[in-house]
């Protein structure tokens, strides 16, 4: 067990469950047109049943009792009456029923890809111990485009990647197709992920050259049966860099013609190419503002090129200009006025929060504030700011927190993302992938759960994070209820623990320069003001926190009035976001009865204590988990416990130097003095 199999392990069930499974899966019956996706579905069912029931099952044309019947409406067996219309193009239905006098399990969908999704759903039902004899489930995705964004460079280095090198072996492509590409596609399809942006948003123009397009086309060929489309990050200045033009001005006819020709060239080799993802005028990337144009001008030019082929432009809203008055305000300031100005095949891709993938942020104020523009939610699966793949932090609660946040504009973020709030048909959710060449794919066993949770929540943003964790734990570690639930409990507290020992009470961006690993709240010497931790926490003798209230930057005014009203006043701001919106004196009275200073210290201590508790819980699970994976997780948790302490000690030492206050009674002082924490260096942290 090295984690390679992810949640598709299909290990033998115990005797009674095996017998039950066998009774429900005697053969696969095809009542759908042949296709590569259907072949993939059948192969997966056979693989799963062989693994779990220990028997090979045949593909039959006769409706035998105990069959798994894969059906589409066109070829459905006589007597099968189903709510086909409710399933949409990709949805599925699983139902145990009697058909022509035989008890069978129907896996039904309107398309072959729906059947593949349904097959994975049935296998999940088996793996999680569902009652197969009474199965009756159906599901259709609420979000249209469910995409992984790979920040993979063409030299196979993964920006912010903590799981080895890029899976894409560009050098050997298109001739050599690593079998791992198929396993990648299976894993994604099992969750419903239907697109992959192959290259980094900090893009090289080379990815758009003919040799690289041939390589991308080879990957697209592997992924196609699994319903996964290939997308590319496009560098805005490519017409200059590749085309020899003098400008990349989006209103220049020659530039527009260049992109049109490029789109035609791409679709000639990848007929179902998904489209472009663009990071423009952000962190040094070129963009339309270099020519005095705005984001809509840039996006619409690309949309015009892709539109005739059915492609989309995912234009990122992650921008912050040199004006450093309040970085959190800048995405909204630049994009909100462009509402309604984008072409219909443009979707503006917005990070979950207004800064940058912090352990906790309020939801981004653009959600709900651009009713005439499709908005995609971008989350980061790779844990750049939550301890890389060495710290255990299950991100389901983070994703669910933003999706369930009430925008105050008539619905929660999930309703913006699924398009229902403002009647958008183009909908998307993107996750920055945490996948690489490590045998376990994600750098650690538990980081697989974040890939999994992203996929499940992109399909259905209303799923509960604990329910998703329960499925994952059952599929990945054990379906035995007590052990499974112990794993879920450990996972569910893990993200809050990271918030507590890194950035409690709404603090943000306290991490080390560049690599973003480890505490560095003291850093104040970076080129741009808004790259410095001191810019974000603003601690001094008078107090701590970034004042975004009306008396400060008034960033809070970017939210709907009902939300802004609550968050303008520290007394009605949730403690979790307090120092995001307010600068408060150290003796400010918290709802807990502690002073702000006391509360800050208590949260740091709580974070450390939770990690210690996670270790104990994991140790107790030893008899339930295979030795190799148990030991690997235990080793990581030991690192995390040590580093949680480091974070806590370094931050308390630093903030105490600001507050000048004694530690509350009974609190253990930091192990070292502040200078020692400041001196600690990480020259070789991965992922930059």
User: Which listed residue (131, 136, 283, 524) is catalytic?
Assistant: 283
Q: Which of 117, 357, 536, 677 binds ligand BDP (CB under 6 A)?
A: 357
Estimate the crossing angle of helix 481-502 against helix 396-404, to 10 degrees.
70
Q: Helices (H), strands (E): how many in the chain?
A: 21, 14
Q: Does 327 bind ligand BDP (CB under 6 A)?
A: no
CB of 282 to ligand BDP, least distance (A): 6
Task: Output Rg (C-alpha) for the chain, integer angstroms.
Answer: 26
CB of 367 to ligand BDP, least distance (A): 17
3-state helix, strand, coil in the chain (%, to 5): 45, 10, 45
**Which helix or strand (DSSP H or E) is residue 375 part of?**
strand 375-380
Q: Does 318 bind ligand BDP (CB under 6 A)?
A: yes
Q: Does 649 bind ligand BDP (CB under 6 A)?
A: no
Task: Give Cα 160 to chain centroid, integer Å.
Answer: 14
Q: Does 159 bind ligand BDP (CB under 6 A)?
A: yes
Q: Does 279 bind ligand BDP (CB under 6 A)?
A: yes
What is the distance between the alpha carbons of residues 608 and 301, in angstroms, rounded to a whole number? 51
Q: Does 202 bind ligand BDP (CB under 6 A)?
A: yes
CB-wise, 141 or 161, nearer to ligand BDP?
161
Q: Does 356 bind ligand BDP (CB under 6 A)?
A: yes
CB of 499 to ligand BDP, least distance (A): 17
Window 283-302: residues binding ligand BDP (CB under 6 A): 283
Q: Does 395 bind ligand BDP (CB under 6 A)?
A: no
Contact by Cβ (8 Å): 403, 457: yes
- Exposed e or buried b per residue across 28-59, where buried means at least 16 C-beta atoms within 10 angstroms of its C-beta: bbbbbeeeebbebbbbbbbebbebbbeeebee
Window 605-644: residues binding ligand BDP (CB under 6 A): none
356 is catalytic: yes
Q: CB burial class (10 A; 0-12, 13-18, 19+) of residue 528?
A: exposed
CB-wise, 284 or 292, nearer to ligand BDP?
284
User: Which listed residue (90, 152, 297, 356) is catalytic?
Assistant: 356
Of 665, 688, 669, nearest to 677 by C-alpha is 669
Report DSSP letters for 69-91, one per residue: EEE-GGGPPTT----HHHHTTT-
Window 367-386: residues binding ligand BDP (CB under 6 A): 384
First vs last Cα of the chain: how many Å apart? 30
CB-wise, 52 or 280, nearer to ligand BDP?
280
Q: Indicate the DSSP class of residue 18.
A: H
Q: Does 160 bind ligand BDP (CB under 6 A)?
A: yes
632 is catalytic: no
283 is catalytic: yes
Q: Does 326 bind ligand BDP (CB under 6 A)?
A: no
Q: Assign residue 408 a region (left: φ > 0; alpha: ψ between -120 and 50; beta: otherwise).
A: left
What is the distance between the alpha carbons of residues 643 and 621, in angstroms, rounded to a whole number? 23
Q: Does 201 bind ligand BDP (CB under 6 A)?
A: yes
CB of 688 to ligand BDP, least distance (A): 7
Print the SS3 string covering 166-198: CCCCCCCCCCCCCCHHHHHHHHHHHHCCCEEEC
Q: Does 363 bind ligand BDP (CB under 6 A)?
A: no
User: Which listed residue (44, 378, 384, 471) is catalytic?
Assistant: 384
Size of the residue set binding ligand BDP (CB under 6 A):
10
CB of 502 to ligand BDP, least distance (A): 15
Residue nearest to ligand BDP (CB): 356
CB-wise, 10 or 454, nearer to ligand BDP?
454
CB-wise, 200 or 573, nearer to ligand BDP?
200
Q: Does 150 bind ligand BDP (CB under 6 A)?
A: no
Contact by Cβ (8 Å): 208, 242: yes
CB-wise, 160 or 293, nearer to ligand BDP?
160
Q: Which residues are catalytic?
A: 283, 356, 384
Binding site for ligand BDP (CB under 6 A): 159-160, 201-202, 279, 283, 318, 356-357, 384
């Amino acid at each position: 067990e090295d984690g390679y199999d992810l949640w598709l392990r299909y290990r033998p069930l115990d005797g009674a469950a095996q017998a039950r499974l066998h009774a429900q899966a005697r053969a696969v019956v095809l009542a759908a047109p042949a296709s590569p996706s259907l072949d993939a579905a059948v192969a997966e069912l056979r693989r799963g049943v062989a693994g779990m029931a220990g028997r090979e099952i045949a593909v039959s044309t006769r409706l035998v009792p105990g069959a798994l019947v894969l059906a589409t409406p066109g070829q459905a067996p006589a007597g099968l009456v189903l709510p086909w219309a409710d399933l949409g193009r990709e949805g599925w239905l699983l139902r145990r029923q009697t058909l022509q006098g035989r008890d069978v399990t129907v896996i039904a969908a309107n398309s072959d890809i729906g059947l593949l999704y349904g097959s994975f759903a049935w296998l999940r039902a088996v793996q999680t111990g569902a009652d197969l004899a009474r199965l009756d489930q159906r599901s259709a995705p609420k979000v249209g485009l469910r995409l992984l964004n790979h920040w993979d460079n063409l030299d196979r280095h993964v920006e912010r990647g903590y799981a080895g090198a890029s899976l894409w072996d560009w050098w050997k492509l298109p001739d050599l197709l690593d079998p791992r590409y198929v396993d990648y596609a299976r894993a994604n399809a099992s969750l419903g992920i239907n697109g992959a942006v192959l290259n980094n948003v900090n893009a090289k123009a080379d990815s758009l050259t003919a040799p690289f397009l041939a390589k991308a086309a080879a990957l697209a060929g592997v992924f196609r049966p699994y319903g996964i489309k290939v997308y590319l990050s496009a560098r805005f200045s490519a017409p200059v860099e590749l085309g020899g033009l003098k400008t990349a001005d989006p209103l220049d006819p020659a530039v527009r013609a260049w992109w049109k020709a490029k789109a035609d060239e791409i679709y000639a080799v990848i007929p179902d190419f998904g489209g472009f993802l663009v990071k423009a005028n952000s962190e040094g990337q070129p963009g339309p503002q270099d020519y005095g144009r705005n984001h809509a001008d840039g996006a619409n030019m690309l949309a015009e090129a892709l539109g005739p082929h059915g492609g989309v432009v995912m234009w990122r809203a992650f921008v912050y200009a040199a004006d450093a008055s309040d970085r959190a305000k800048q995405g909204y300031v630049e994009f909100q006025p462009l509402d309604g100005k984008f072409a219909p095949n443009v979707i503006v891709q917005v990070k979950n929060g207004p800064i940058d993938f912090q352990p906790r942020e309020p939801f981004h104020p653009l959600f709900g504030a651009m009713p005439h523009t499709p908005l995609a939610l971008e989350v980061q699966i790779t844990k750049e700011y939550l301890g890389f793949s060495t710290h255990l932090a299950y991100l389901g609660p983070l994703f669910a927190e933003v999706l369930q946040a009430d925008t105050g504009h008539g619905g929660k973020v999930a309703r913006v993302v699924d398009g229902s709030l403002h009647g958008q048909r183009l909908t998307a959710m993107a996750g920055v992938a945490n996948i690489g060449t490590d045998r376990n794919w994600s750098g650690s066993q538990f980081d697989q759960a974040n890939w999994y949770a992203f996929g499940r929540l992109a399909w259905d943003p209303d799923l509960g994070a604990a329910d998703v964790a329960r499925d994952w734990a059952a599929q990945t570690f054990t379906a035995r209820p007590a052990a499974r639930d112990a794993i879920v409990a450990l996972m569910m507290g893990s993200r809050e623990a990271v918030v507590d020992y890194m950035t409690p009470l709404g603090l943000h961006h306290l991490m080390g320069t560049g690599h973003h690993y480890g505490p560095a709240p003291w850093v104040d010497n970076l080129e741009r003001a808004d790259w410095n931790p001191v810019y974000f926490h603003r601690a001094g003798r008078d107090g701590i926190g970034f004042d975004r209230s009306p008396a400060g930057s008034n960033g809070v005014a970017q939210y709907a009035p009902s939300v802004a009203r609550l968050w303008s006043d520290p007394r009605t701001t949730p403690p979790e976001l307090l120092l995001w919106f307010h600068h408060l004196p150290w003796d400010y009275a918290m709802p807990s009865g502690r002073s702000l200073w006391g509360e800050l210290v208590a949260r740091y201590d709580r974070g450390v204590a939770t990690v210690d508790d996670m270790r104990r819980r994991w140790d107790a699970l030893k008899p339930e988990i295979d030795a190799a994976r148990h030991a690997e997780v235990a080793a990581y948790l030991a690192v995390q416990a040590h580093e949680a302490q480091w974070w806590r000690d370094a931050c308390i030492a630093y903030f105490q130097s600001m507050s000048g206050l004694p530690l509350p009674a009974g609190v253990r002082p930091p192990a070292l003095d502040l200078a020692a924490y400041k001196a600690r260096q990480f020259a070789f942290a991965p992922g930059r």
